[in-house]
Amino acid sequence: MGEFAEAVQDYMCNSLSGQIPSFDWQTEYDVAGTPVDVVGKAEKKLHLIELEWKRADPADNTAKIFRHLEAGEFEANEIIVLQIFTDHYALSGGGVSSKQKNAEFVGKVAAETFEHLTYTPVSFKMNPPKRGSSWPDDWERVADDTLDVIVDNLSR
């Protein structure tokens, strides 16, 4: 993950710590040897957030979480998975790429399979900069807009 993606990941984790302090928030949470970008834990509740910047196969992130869930590697009776997609996956003519659609399909099927699981895709309305390029001036505003959606989903 690049420096910009790590900065956004840390920003989101710190913001969620302030907005939902009843959860212990951390980045790069280890699930059976696989890191999840941002995770909040409280009692038997688990909030998993995957940030998809430009990944070639974002369905792999959802599949790994659900594979570990099926194997019983989460000690939680309520799991919320939020998968954040940047505009990298947006199509110029409207809609989203098949890569995002596939990831969302995997999430939807998993949520239908496990009664204690909720899956929600969320948009991060920015095309991330290429490695070494300058960061967009409004990245914190975009992160805050995305965080509003995240907090709304986690507060239901």
Domain boundary assignment for the chain: 3-154
In the prediction, which pLDDT does 55 show?
A: 85
Report the distance separating Cα 150 and Cα 30, nearest Å: 21
In the prediction, which pLDDT does 11 show?
A: 97
In the prediction, which pLDDT does 3 show?
A: 87
In the prediction, which pLDDT does 56 show?
A: 85
With 80 as the cut, is the pLDDT of residue 16 above it?
Answer: yes
- Could you tell me the CA-to-CA distances from 24 to 9, 29, 113, 118, 143 in Å, in that order? 15, 11, 27, 19, 20
* pTM of the entire predicted model: 0.93
pLDDT (tens digit, 9 = 90+) per residue, 22-70? Answer: 999 999 998 888 889 999 999 899 999 999 998 889 999 889 888 988 8
The answer to whether the beta carbons of residues 85 and 54 sit under 8 Å apart is: no
pLDDT (tens digit, 9 = 90+) per residue, 90-122? Answer: 998 989 999 999 999 999 999 999 989 999 999
The hierarchical CATH code for the domain 3-154 is 3.40.1350
By C-alpha distance, which of 88, 92, 97, 80 is closest to 129? Answer: 88
In this structure, is the dihedral angle defined by the CA atoms of residues 139, 142, 144 and 146, taken in order, positive or negative? negative
The answer to whether the beta carbons of residues 42 and 26 sit under 8 Å apart is: no
